[in-house]
Chain A
């Protein structure tokens, strides 16, 4: 897991979280999912984007949790929020009305057009594995101006064909998303533990634009269920800085202590 880069040791997971956090700006109003998105968004807030507005779908607006919440509705989110609104207000006045600039999503499966599956593995009516389902994701993906996806890369997750399309990315590719009447931009990047993928102009197929330090092309190809392409001017992702790593590790350590202690505050 540990990579050797100039003088700094970090894990692939940390590389993914740091890279994702860099996509956020100080001006963003961001709806945050639990797990990796929550790590990336809070890391951004604690480093380069101190004024970013974080919103969790439980209705907490502009929240500044000192530890990472385990659930979307932990007390720590509400107590550190500007205010907390009801769910109809969250989904209608905020998400549907276009008042949120960035959505961060993850999933169990993703395809080449950045559509996501969080519903079932196998058939819908007789699933091999029943996953949690849609939650807020389908409307986050269409309601937010920009979407980022954060997922660890493996051929089980990056698949040729989804078992179920829970959340729309670029649909069947090309202009499909706009033809469906959706005016927001959709997924602008998929940040993984190996590389970053972005939709290619016109086809909207995900292509690798940046490789993380120490990762070979082959590793990415082997970890992707479709015949993934690499962009012509492929670059190397800048490694995490000392500051990013320190803030990230402190945040995780505080969180770990709090959750195991059974206290969400």
Chain B
């Protein structure tokens, strides 16, 4: 499930929680509130990530509780830097076994993540870091719109969604609306052709409390409020019952 602080597929994540799909290996550069909810709901076995906080607010408390206290389940982590993860998705999309980058130099991450390794450049002799390609079984993304043929448009902060979609065996997309003509809204629009997409579902507001540029704004107030809701296990469960588990009151 990707979306770098924009177009985060909350509605799709909530459906995973309602269907009680468990033992998932979750991959996401910035786990954000949606993975905090999936982890707190007990859906996750492992997390591959590069920055696990509530942006501008502080901690992801359910993520912390799982790592620090093993609640509701212990969470295995595979941790990278943003640069490493972006490169790993790109390698996956390009059908390469690994990605090369100038990164991870002089720091402790390679000592706790044995999947970060090194190669010697065959041309210059320079030592470069490698990370294995990410090849998820399923990519879940939220997009602004699709046309009737199933072509998908994302604009604004386009993040890593194209690489994530092309790296994955299947790609599921929720969209704000279906339109006759995609009418690129912004000069940096990314179009994912229909034949690269497995399924599309129309879910207006499917990224809330994140945002969809051109449709609605990020609810910064909710991101701040989440700190209080998620801090306490019972308050979190109560919130999930009222806002996620009872389908009628979908966010």
Contacts and interface: CB of A to CB of B under 8 A. Distances in A.
Interface of A: 34-35, 57-60, 69-75, 77-79, 83-88, 90-92, 95-96, 119, 124-125, 127-139, 142-143, 164-168, 171, 176-177, 180-182, 258-265
Interface in B204-219: 211, 213, 217-219
A134 B221 contact: no
Contacts of A129: 64, 68
A59 B157 contact: yes
8 contacts: A124-B108, A131-B53, A132-B60, A134-B81, A138-B103, A138-B107, A168-B105, A180-B106
Interface residues of B, number: 60
B214 to A, nearest CB: 9
Contacts of B30: 135
Contacts of B218: 70-71, 74-75, 264
A134 B50 contact: yes
B101 interface: yes
B87 A88 contact: yes
Contact of B101 (A96, A134, A262): A96
A71 B108 contact: no
Interface string B108-134: 110010000000000000110000000
B6 interface: yes
Contacts, number: 199
Interface string B142-158: 00000000000000111
Contacts of B105: 138, 142, 168, 180-182
A134 B79 contact: yes
A75 B156 contact: yes
A166 to B, nearest CB: 6
B81 A135 contact: yes
8 shortest interchain CB distances as A-B pairs? A73-B5, A132-B53, A71-B55, A262-B221, A135-B51, A168-B106, A70-B56, A91-B83
A182 B218 CA distance: 38
B82 A135 contact: yes
Given A75-B211, A86-B159, A86-B162, A130 B63 contact: yes
Contacts of B90: 88
Contact of A177 (B63, B81, B106, B126): B106
- Most chain B CB inside 10 Å of its own CB: which residue of A58, A74, A134: A134
Contacts of B5: 58, 71-74
Contacts of B102: 96, 139, 142-143
Nearest to A73: B5
B119 to A, nearest CB: 14
Given A74-B218, A165-B107, A58 B52 contact: no
Nearest to B211: A75
Nearest to B113: A124
Given A60-B157, A78-B156, A88-B163, A133 B50 contact: yes
B135 interface: no
Given A83-B187, A164-B108, A263-B217, A134 B160 contact: no
B220 A57 contact: no
